[in-house]
Structure 1
Amino acid sequence: MDLFLTAVSGLAWTIVYVSAIRIGFRHRTYAIPMAALGLNFAWETTYAVHDLLGGMSPQTVVNLIWALADLVIVYTFFAFGRAEFPRFVTRSLFTAWGVLLFATSFAVQWLFIEQFGTDAGARYSAFLQNLLMSGLFIAMLIARQSLRGQTLTIAVAKWLGTLAPTISIGVLGHSAFIVGIGALCSVFDLLYIGLVLRLKTHPDALATVDAPTQETWPKTASQPAVTT
């Protein structure tokens, strides 16, 4: 059962990454939220190298595939991501921000290992950053107000890719922490799937409501009360 769930997770996340690469180049943007991308790339690189030094396993192969796929998504981030930021963020400032983001992501992974050890650190960090990613996908959808850089395939595969290890590590491994964080991931993932489906049938569903004008809101709110 554990091997089967590992295979399901590996296949599902591989689908996420392949789809993210495809849609990223098609829409000329990055398809994984940037903070989650940094943490994922750092996690997969760190533990792929660690496992290679300690001996091959099915998870080692999966981590290597994910790290290589993430490397391409990192390229789309640096190649196209500048367009997602305001004008004052210059190309050099954006690049520096990206480098800082990825350096911080590696530092976070190594701090987890230092605090919890390799096995527990890998599990805790993986599920916590998965929860972060689940929320950030929703935030990215709302910020872009469209399905640019996003697909239903990514949404569903991300959910299944997290659900499988939640069962294998959390339920079968009797870890309340993993079960709880994994369950929260499913809540956000299913919400994201619902939003993607909604946007596919109603493309204007996230259209921004016009804010009150200066004449109708601030001026009225600041006027003193009139007494008689």
Structure 2
Amino acid sequence: MATVLSGTSGALYYKPAGTSGTFKAADVTNASNSIKVGTFLNFKVNDKVSFTTGGGTLPGGLAAGTPVFVLTYTASTGAATFAATAGGAELALSSDGTDGTSAFTVAFTEFQAVANVRSWNFEVTRDEIDVTSIGGTLGQSAPFRTFISGFADGTGSAEVYFTDDDTGISARLIEDVTQRNQAGATFKLYMDAVVSAGTPDDAASRSISMEAVLTSASFSVTPDDAQAISINFRPTSAPTFDFAKS
């Protein structure tokens, strides 16, 4: 049985904060091929996104589960246009679509590898609930309290090297700490990443994934070490622990 070496087998993948929005048919403007997906989000040009129907019919030109790319996004108005390919021509929206039981959604599609990560860690803790009862029989030794486990909580951090490339996903991870609306921020922490054709094979890998909020970033510069930023986060709901390799 081989031992997993975290330095060679570990990896961190990420979906940026502010890359999940909702809209209705009334938010679609056919004349400009634009959709108001939400103000002050964090969509960037060439972000790969997918749509869901909410039980209705998407605007003409879009299909549920078929990725498209952000062509433009104006944070102050929330208006976005899209292209079928990265940097391609503006996608024509032939209709507004039909609202369903819930709003349409648009969200970042695929996890991106954060290339400049030195390390990550994630800790799970449990509350302790004191259920000690009175009235027990006293003996030679002091009685012990009785506890049961309560809710779980998690905290994580990642140490990311600061480089001169401000276009990669690692730069967005660092900047996302200050993003007000962090909807869409999602981590996938690989302990044993088995890569196939350039992407992790999740069926053969072991990982922890979670939607999260980024809570802090610590910056420092010294003459002795490479510049690195420590980023802290915590899950917004129960993480998914996938430790099976089959």
TM-score by length of 1: 0.25
More helix by share: 1
Larger RCO (CA within 8 A; separation ≥ 6) = 1
More strand by share: 2
